Amino acid sequence: QSVLTQPPSVSAAPGQKVTISCSGSSSNIGDNYVSWYQQLPGTAPKLLIYENDKRPSGIPDRFSGSKSGTSATLGITGLQTGDEADYYCGTWDTSLSAGGVFGGGTKLTVL
């Protein structure tokens, strides 16, 4: 059971837009930055978004992030077949068992 809650799967057609939600609490998302990672099959995770809405160099602006209260959202526009992957949100938790926490991951299928 992950501390952050994501939908197990989402799907959309090529060229369309999709959003992936990440729900937490006041001790994690509510009080800390959120990052997003893309994991292609058989590879290590790759940073897509940090500080809620910032993109590292080399990440196209088709990927966007936002945060409101205790939830965060990853948006992907102009879907491509190469975007099929697992997506994870992550943040810090400042509760008694402080540390890094991740969502359970969302499998994106581009139909």
Partner 1 sequence: QVQLVQSGAEVKKPGASVKVSCKASGYTFTSSDIYWVRQATGQGLEWMGWMNPSSGNTDYAQRFQGRVTMTRDTSINTAYMELSSLTSEDTAVYYCARAAQRDKLDYWGQGTLVTVSS
Residue 29 φ then ψ, to 5°? -60, -40
Q: Judge residue 86's burial from the number of C-beta atoms within 10 Å of its C-beta, 0-12 exposed, 13-18 middle, 19 or more buried.
A: middle
What binding mask, one character per residue, do residues 80-99 give for partner 1 by CB under 8 A, x or -? --------x-xxx----x-x
Residue 72 interacts with partner 1 (CB under 8 A): yes or no: no
Pick between residue 17 and residue 54 the one whose CB is nearest to partner 1.
54
Q: Does 104 bind partner 1 (CB under 8 A)?
A: yes
Which of 85, 105, 108, 110 is in the footprint of partner 1 by CB under 8 A? 105
Applying CB under 8 A, among 83, 103, 108, 110 the residue interacting with partner 1 is 103
How many Å is the Cα radius of gyration of the chain?
13
Pairing assessment for the beta strands 106-110 and 9-12 based on DSSP bridges:
parallel
